[in-house]
Amino acid sequence: MFSSLRLRRLLLYEPGGHFRPHRDAELEPGVYGTLVVQLPVAGGHTGGELLIGRSEEIRQWRTEVNSNTPYGTPAAYFSACERQLSPITSGLRAVLVFSLVRDPGFPLPRPPPCMAAAHGALAAAVRAWEASAAVAVASAPGTVAGSLVRHSLRAIPLQNKYSTTGLSFGALYGRDAQVASLLCGCPDLDVHLAMVTKKGRLTVFRRERRRRTRGYYRCACGCCAYSDDDEPLSDEYSSDDGYYNEDDEDLELEWSHSTSQWASRSGPLEDFAGCAIGLHAVPLGDDDLFEDADGDLPEPDESRTELVTFPRPAMVVHRSHHKAVVVLWPRSRRAVVAEAAGFRATLRLMEVRLAERAAELAAAARWAPAVQGSPSPPTLPTGRLPPLAEPHPPQAVDTALERDMPSEELAEVLIRAAAAHGSDRDLLQSLLPEAARQQAPDAGGVVRALQLLTSQPFLAALAASNAVAAACGAGAGGGAFASPSAAARLVATLPTSLVLGPVDTTNAVVRASGRLREAAFDKAVAMHAASQARSGAHGLDRCLALAFAATTPPGLRHRVAERLLERLTEAGVLCGLPAPYVPLAARLACDGPPELLRHLPCLAEAALLRSDSGELVWAVLREEAVERAVSRGDPNAAELVSALMARMLSSRPGGGSDGGGGIATLDAGGVKAAAQLVCSGPPCVRQHQAAFASGVLARPDTQALLPALLALPDVSAAVCRREPGALALVEAAAASLERVLAQGPPALSWEQPMAQMPQYPQIEAFLRGPLREATFHGMWSGMPEARRWADAFNQAAGRCGFDASATPCGRGLHSYCVIVKGLAVHNMRLQAFHRRGTALQGVRAMVARPPGTAAGGAAATAAAAGGSGQLAAPAAAVTAAVQLTGAPMGPAGAAMVVPTPQGALAGLSTPWPEAGAAALSLHSLPVGFTVLQPVAQAGPGWQPR
């Protein structure tokens, strides 16, 4: 009978060792008995008589017999048996105690042959029970489920004691196992096990007063009693426990019942924990579950006493009685039981029913004629379920053809159980007792419910006749929902925090939408999305993630997107959100059916109220969905983009509520991007090209921006297309160059304003001044120091923003240095002037200006002398350029623009603002001449060595 034997302990009894009558305490799940093996001990022992059994039957074991030989008799008894050991009078007694353990999945024993006739009687009794329960329900349609369940459920107490931590069918033994096996063999009954606990709280209060009776006094605490002559008190005024007698005590007795350890044949039923079914009120017959045959309450299984002082001094006695029961109800009354049990218990009953339904449909498919396209047997996405009996072949097809009312009733109960917990789930959870909270819907329960309500057996149950008719060749269609499905009504009932809050439930909702493809279900989810979008940015992010997820079915995505757009276009909502939400909203409206595009005008109005609306056009146009909508000529998308573009271009410098900064606040890179957009974008953007040109020309850095803008391929293409905005930029650039060239080449100047020598202020002032040459005394202690300083100065020339050479002179303390400036800085001014002439030619070529618009002789000379920032001819061109300035050639006829070896570079660099860069350097000319060019960054500050 047992499946395993486990050693529990080794016991050694010395003379006087014994134990009083007791039962085994709870050890571990599956323990149903004990095996005691007595070990041989030299000399044996005397005494130690072991009594085992119950009140009606006691067995005696004389342990002293053969106690010194290996031929002693072992003892085995069930855990429910009481046992008592008399004292050992002499010697030692050693025993090994084993636990008899059976696995929870151990099969129940078959009923004995004498109970074979009971099967028919049981089936008839169940049918009569179903009829009486149906009459009771029909006669009281408005009665609550707690009252109706008394007619549909019964609890049969088991004879033996079982552990309160591991109750299972495999742990039953004796007559209990036979009864359970008989009940489980009835196909019309649902049979479970449960542990019912009856707890009593007896409170004995002490009266807070002092009284005198017959010369005796009792203190206020009631613990002591004294007499005037210090004589002992009689029993009338004292008690063994130190409390008052009955006349001086207040007693309060409270009883409570609870149910735990629900179990089915497949294992524990955690889903029934906390259900509101009071099994103590539905016993089979009129007897109480806990009273014996004489109507008395037996000794408690657990008892403890405590003393309390608040609010009144009292002694509290806690007593607990445990009773294992077999719980049974007709399968036709599952809905009534589920109504009283709660949400999670209903889930379990529905899983069992759908497993039965799957077996019925599988049998119907096998016994129906094999035709093309017959449906495959449906399956359930659930775990372990009890084994099911397959319907009899003649009844299989008829059963599957009928409407599955039990499944539909359980679905309705599930919806009502979810609705009973209300929409404010957190508040209700705090008000419910701990046991009732276990039946409240949670994330795992919602996932299971959606899996069940969208499983094949349940969907097949709604259209069973059509499915079987199609399998039999009669042809059928259907499957569409004439009314909202159970899944849609369940989602509409649940709170938003439970439907779209946890990630698991959100994924379950997406999967259910894909299976159902039902508009009512998608609408219910979209309502929750709209509610969650109002909860803040976090809720809005979750809804956007749902709408943009690749796994979201199109119908659900479009309905959620519509609700989100309605929310985003409400007054003031979009203004309070970060900037990235605007392009996301535009993607929602453009990446969907045409009816979503109607939200774009309202979205444009809401976006224009933002202070940064002028800068949002870039992010909106980068969305592929918006680009596709604009490309296919959708007027709503074009209106949105055009409105944002107009707002950006109409912004005044300095920003404001009507402009937000716009084109006036963009950096050079932003202006280039805007130029590319208005010159190569869609028509709704290119129409703002003229406004863009006006905004660029109004900026203070227009002269620096125009060359960079005209060098862009998109702008050049727009000029070739003779677009007005691009032509305006070219005209402005040409006018600017003409004004500069009309002033003629710059005059010779020795000023070098970018020179930097902070260690020597007087030398720095000289370099920045108009003098060409200066002599400095008293700065060096001798000629060697002056030479080192001059070498360091000459090496730093160019790196520190000046062009000059230092020559040391004198002797000793009279040493001095002569500093002479060079022409490199002036040549840079000349070269910049020549480049402007070349640029003017290029601008005129772009617009193909008509003849007779020359800027003058000086401009023409400069244009003829320069190419693209380099001298076009060798020595003659250089000489002409130098002579054009009227500057002397320098000592020994050497100018700063001098012939150098091919590819040689000079180490001169200096910051130079006129060229629009931060430093200067010498670069090689193609014909062996060197001139100064701007570089990007200045070198480190000069330090003398």
| pLDDT at residue number 926 | 30
pLDDT number for residue 191: 93
Taking CA atoms, 616 is separated from 573, 585, 588, 620, 635, in Å, by 16, 12, 16, 6, 19
* pLDDT the model gives residue 230: 43
- For 384-422, the pLDDT digits (tens) are 444 444 444 444 445 555 667 888 889 999 999 888 876
Q: What is the pLDDT of residue 855?
A: 35
Q: Is the pLDDT of residue 105 over 80?
A: no
What is the CB-side half-sphere exposure of residue 13 using CA atoms within 13 A? 28
Q: Kindly tell me if the per-residue pLDDT of 908 is higher than 90.
A: no
Q: Which residues of 856-878 are buried (b: 16+ CB within 10 A; e: fewer)?
A: eebbebbbebbbeebbeeeeebb
For 924, list phi and psi in degrees, rounded to 5: -80, 135
What does pTM read for this prediction?
0.65
Give the containing element (helix H, strand E) for 421: none
Q: Measured at the alpha carbon of residue 606, what is the angle toward residues 602 and 612, in degrees to the nearest 5?
A: 145
pLDDT of residue 857: 35
- 671 pLDDT band, cuts 50/70/90, is confident
* Amino acid letter for position 230: D
User: Measured between alpha carbons, how far is 928 from 942 in angstroms, rounded to an integer?
Assistant: 29
pLDDT attached to residue 406: 85
- DSSP codes of every residue in 74-99: PEEEETT-EEEEPPEEEE-EEEEEEE
Structural domains present in the chain:
3-102 (2.60.120.620), 115-135+144-208+249-348 (no CATH), 761-821 (no CATH)
DSSP class of residue 474?
Answer: S
Question: Which range, of 94-103, 429-438, 451-460, averages the lowest pLDDT?
Answer: 429-438
pLDDT (tens digit, 9 = 90+) per residue, 503-559? 999 999 999 999 989 999 999 999 999 999 888 888 889 999 999 999 999 999 999
Contact by Cβ (8 Å): 325, 289:
yes
Q: Mean pLDDT, to the nearest integer, of 844-853? A: 57
**Tens of pLDDT along 346-379?**
999 999 988 888 887 777 777 655 444 444 555 5
| Predicted pLDDT at 813 | 86
User: Please, what is the average pLDDT of the chain?
Assistant: 75
Kindly report the number of other CB atoms within 10 A of residue 775's CB atom: 11
Cβ-Cβ contacts under 8 Å for 59 (sequence gap 6 or more): 51, 52, 53
The pLDDT tens digits for 614-670 are 677 778 877 888 888 888 888 888 888 888 888 777 654 433 334 344 677 778 887
What is the pLDDT confidence band of residue 145, given thresholds at 50, 70 and 90? low
Residue-level pLDDT at 214: 46
Q: Give the pLDDT confidence score for residue 278 in this predicted structure.
A: 84
Q: What is the pLDDT of residue 423?
A: 52
Whether 881 has a pLDDT exceeding 70, the answer reads no
Helix, strand, coil shares, percent, the chain, to 5:
45, 15, 40
> How many percent of the chain have pLDDT more than 90?
20
Q: What is the pLDDT of residues 769-827, one digit of tens each?
A: 999 999 998 888 899 999 999 999 999 888 888 999 999 999 888 899 999 999 999 89
Ranking 726-735, 779-788, 807-816, 874-883 by mean pLDDT, the lowest is: 874-883
For residue 95, the model assigns a pLDDT of: 93
pLDDT on residue 890:
35
Residue 564 confidence (pLDDT): 92
Reported as a single tens digit per residue, the pLDDT across 21-75 is 887 765 676 777 889 999 999 989 999 999 998 766 788 888 888 888 888 788 8
Q: How far is CA 920 from CA 310, 384, 547, 801, 933, in A?
A: 93, 82, 56, 8, 6
Whether residue 235 is predicted with pLDDT greater than 50 in this model: the reply is no
* Residue ranges in 421-454 assigned as alpha helix (H): 425-431, 434-437, 443-453
How many helices (H) and strands (E) in the chain?
34, 24
DSSP character string of 798-838: TTTS--EEEEEES-GGG-EEEEEE-SHHHHHHHHHHHHHHH
Residue 261's pLDDT band (boundaries 50, 70, 90)? confident
Q: What is the pLDDT of residue 14?
A: 93
**Which has the closest alpha carbon to 808: 822, 793, 787, 794?**
787
Query: For the segment 195-210, what is each residue's pLDDT rounded down to a tens digit?
Result: 999 999 988 876 654 4
**Model confidence at 267: pLDDT above 50:** yes
